[in-house]
Amino acid sequence: MQKIRFVSFWLGQTIIEMLVMLTIVALLSSTLILFNKQTQGEKELYEEARKLVVDLRTAQDLAFSMQDINGETPCGYGVELLPDLTGYEIFVAMPRPGMTCADVQNGSYIKVPLQGVPAVPEAVFRFSNLELYSYSSNPIIFVPPYPRTIFFPSNSTALFQFFNKKVGSGSLIEIQLNKAGQITLQGPTTP
């Protein structure tokens, strides 16, 4: 009789310990899965923001190389957000009839789609994971020969903040561009 009590006591203790361990493992597993999902979202956020940085550099490099477009020298190359803010396009800034390239600084230019430039296979890009949170300048134009950077409206820097619309992790990534043409990518950070 005492042997049976002894066995049932240890058997009960083992079942309780096992349930506690299963609960702890379940909690740790769910935490790990949530953390992995957030990390994956931040990775997608960073990769797509990095693509925008590369495209800003491409427009800057095109202004540095001063490639002629259909026999005409452009006033600059720019990047502009699409009207619905779901993407951006790289374009060529050409002078208006009767004007010079110096008038680009006042916002007087013709926006020509970028086509036929081997360095840029596509001129319009759509965000797949990013959603624009805020921006300070649109468009940004790089003017040869240095290239100088012009912001509309006129600022000393341009700032773009994005978040991942798929995950909604609450993380922001920031792209900052100054007048000297330096582009920095910071984040992801929490707003």
Fold of 2-189: minor pseudopilin epsh fold (3.55.40)
pLDDT of residue 120: 62
Alpha helix segments (H runs only) across the chain: 2-65
Element housing 93 (H / E): strand 87-94
Contact indicator for 115, 123 with CB cutoff of 8 Å: yes
pLDDT digits (tens, 9 = 90+) for 155-170: 888 888 888 776 655 6
- 177 pLDDT band (50/70/90 cuts)? very high
Q: What is the average pLDDT across 82-99? A: 87
Q: Which residue has the higher pLDDT, 191 or 38?
A: 38
pLDDT, the chain, mean: 81
- What pLDDT does 1 receive? 52
CA distance 92 to 82: 15
pLDDT value of position 23: 92
This prediction's pTM:
0.75
Per-domain boundaries in the chain = 2-189
13-43 tens-digit pLDDT: 678 888 888 899 999 988 888 777 777 777 8
